[in-house]
Structure 1
Amino acid sequence: MHEYVSITKAAQIIGVTPKTMRVWDNEGVLKSYKTPKGHRRYSLDEIESLALGRVSNVVNIDNKVYIYSRVSTRKQCESGNLDRQTQRLQKYCLDKDYEVVEIYNEVASGINDKRPKLSKMLSNLEGVSKIIVEYPDRLARFGLNYLILMLKNIGITVEFVEDAESKSINEDMTKDIISIITCFSTKLYGATGGKKVRKTLDELAVLK
């Protein structure tokens, strides 16, 4: 009688993540069986054969990653900040022996929820196990923990190179806060009032 194991147990036997198991399943490398409740089960014989290297054409995605880099303004991009950030992330991946599948570079505010490159990356997560980002705020200013949790639930890890914020990051945050206040001021006082508030805040930011 055949014995079947869960996706978590199968991944442990082979030494990969459940995310990799799902990719193999979708590509037809492995065949899973669904329980009445929709849970995947795998033949223990097939899993043990794979663990011993007897199944060919298997791609392990555990070291395959995306890079996401972002700066807030076009001026920062033109001064080379975005390129340098990307280069640091590439070096980090090289040192970690990660295979970079694709690099997503973006020029947009961290509070902008309509970032084309970020949206494209999040819509195409098959075949990678990690997203490499320099700082947490490079990925998102608000709702970051929800985004990380969502990605974790589908087998994607967000790996930050640094936890501490540099001076340039703090400057970016100041710009984002000014943008938020300007947005609400415009809604409350109209475009002219919003511009006046923005001008005052910009002057205060320079003086601080």
Structure 2
Amino acid sequence: MLEGIKNKEAQYVLVEYKDRLARFGYTYLEKYIKDHGGEIIILDQQDDKDENQELVEDLIAITTSFSARIYGKRGGKKVAKRVENILKEEKA
């Protein structure tokens, strides 16, 4: 998408909600796209939030993302260990 904007293959980025483009760091994407002559169009504008509310939501999104990675890795280890045990039992 960003390559398309950079290469002038696209002029608009169309999203339903702002957070569908980026959970955090939206302003960096917006600046990049504007600097390359593009525009972000958001179909369903939510009520403007103050900076503190956006910061809290960004921190929650970051925490959720990292928590999912941590717990996902743990779950993967459990599954791998269980498969390993089953294979050992079948060999015995």
Q: Distance in 2 between matches of 1:129 and 1:191?
A: 42
For the residues of structure 2 that align with 1:152 and 1:191, how far apart are their CA atoms? 41
Q: How does 1:101-120 map to 2 (within 5 A)?
A: none
Matching residue within 163, 172, 179 for 2:45? 163
In structure 2, relative to structure 1, the CA distance for the partners of 1:128 and 1:179 (3 Å cut) is closer
Of 9, 18, 26, which aligns to 1:136?
18
Q: Are residue 123 (structure 1) and residue 23 (structure 2) matched?
A: no
1:191–1:127 Cα change, 3 Å:
closer
Runs of 4+ residues deviating >3 angstroms:
174-179
Deviation of the 1:155 alpha carbon: 0.7
CA deviation string 1:154-197 (max 9, x = no partner): 111111111228xxxxxxxx8985443132456xxx625x98xx
Q: CA–CA distance in 1 between the matches of 2:63 and 2:45?
A: 20
Query: Is the CA contact (8 Å cut-off) linking 2:16 and 2:44 kept in structure 1?
Result: yes
Give the number of the structure whose residues are more often helix, by fraction. Answer: 2
- The one-letter amino acid of 2:68's match is T
Q: Secondary structure of the equivalent of 1:124?
A: helix
What is aligned with 1:94? Answer: none
Whose radius of gyration is greater, 1 or 2? 1
Q: Does the alignment pair 1:182 with 2:68?
A: yes
Distance 1:141 1:181 in 2: 15
Question: What SS is found at the alignment partner of 2:27?
Answer: helix
Q: CA RMSD in A?
A: 3.3
Q: Which runs of 5+ in 1 are unaligned?
A: 1-120, 166-173, 196-208
Percent identical across equivalent pairs?
A: 29
Task: Give the alignment's TM-score, normalised by structure 2.
Answer: 0.51
Structure number with the bigger relative contact order (C-alpha 8 A, sep ≥ 6) is: 2
Name the count of aligned residue pairs.
Answer: 63
Q: 2:74 aligns with which of 180, 191, 207?
A: 191
TM-score (norm 1): 0.25
